Amino acid sequence: MSDSRVLSTATPRDLYLDLMARVLTRTGFEGSGSGGLVNVSKHSYAAYLRDLLFDSLAPAQVALVQALPADPEDRAEGRGWPSADAETMIGLRRLANIRECVEAVITEGTPGDLVETGVWRGGATIYMRAILAAHGVTDRQIWACDSFEGLPPPSEEHFPHDAGDVLYTAEALAVTVEQVKDNFRRYDLLDDKVTFVKGWFEETIPSAPIEQIAVLRLDGDMYSSTIVVLENLYDKVTPGGFVILDDYVEIAACRQATEDFRAKREITDPVKAIDRSGAFWRKS
């Protein structure tokens, strides 16, 4: 299908949300001076973090700004560390999954708010807010939950699956709440429909004033971050709502926490892969 044919059949809503996804990931802006991508196509996200952040890659092996456009498949899958100003690293497929889930609950009238636990620079929650705005939805809240200080040190006594995790030392993962709010402002999407919950999940999630959830998205990497959220928020997910796990496929600790919780609760709703990292299920 030609570009003109696609353009002629696209709605203004589609054009806006497709552009938002590309800008949030800086897809198509590689080499422009503001949208470079770290060349990590041969490394998984987890391995890349270990290598780059803890200096086990020789400097010559890392190009901080890609001189040529990134492989489209890499950008779709979220392979590669985005530029200094990109708001998300999750890639186009996981953003498309967010849109599909949010639009499904809007279309079907599934009640509840949209929640992400682990927001980094805010890209996924910004996209959630954009989807609500594009549909003229005013009766749902966005909850952006994060320590805004990076990841916690592993508590190996309570969560042995997190033993040896070193991501808590990665300064690149610590983004302040003020920085995330500024990112929302870039798109004129910061308003009273966005609530920030700041603090370690063990301290904030159990008491967060979230009453009902239509889409729950987890992006905390660790066993502890995953199990705490599921144990405290899953019962607030409305039947017909969605649970999305950014790290289910690629990070073993997240997958183990999810499977332990599902087994304990006898959840049989099928888990479906999104891409090389993310997965989701719909609550029956």
Summarised one tens digit per residue, pLDDT across range 214-234 is: 999 999 999 999 999 999 999
Classified by CATH at the fold level, domain 91-282 comes out as Rossmann fold (3.40.50)
Is the pLDDT score of 68 beyond 70?
no
Give residue 65's pLDDT: 38
Average pLDDT over residues 104-118: 98
CA distance 47 to 80: 11
Eight-class DSSP state of 194: E
Question: Is 80 exceeded by the pLDDT of residue 170?
Answer: yes
CA distances from 253 to 59, 98, 148, 185 (A): 29, 22, 21, 34
Residues 6+ apart with CB under 8 A from 225: 117, 118, 151, 152, 201, 218, 254
pLDDT of 56 reads 40
What sign for the dihedral angle of Cα 15, 20, 25, 28? positive
Q: What is the C-alpha to C-alpha distance for residues 24 and 92, in angstroms, rounded to an integer?
A: 9
Mean pLDDT of 104-123: 98
When the pLDDT of each residue in the chain is averaged and rounded to a whole number, the result is 86
Spans of all domains in the chain: 3-77, 91-282
- Tell me what the mean pLDDT of segment 51-79 comes to: 50
The pLDDT assigned to 58 comes to 39
User: Span 153-164, mean pLDDT?
Assistant: 90
Of 48-57, 85-94, 270-279, the one with minimum mean pLDDT is 48-57
Span 168-196, average pLDDT? 96
User: How many other C-beta atoms are found inside a 10 Å radius of the C-beta of residue 171?
Assistant: 8
pLDDT at residue 39 above 80?
no
Give residue 70's pLDDT: 58
120 or 64, higher pLDDT: 120
Rounded to an integer, the average pLDDT of 225-252 is: 97
- Check residue 264 and give its pLDDT: 98
Instruction: Show Cβ contacts of residue 167 under 8 Å, excluding neighbours closer than 6 positions.
Output: 49, 53, 150, 151, 173, 221, 222
pTM over 0.75: yes
Distance from the Cα of residue 143 to its chain's centroid: 13
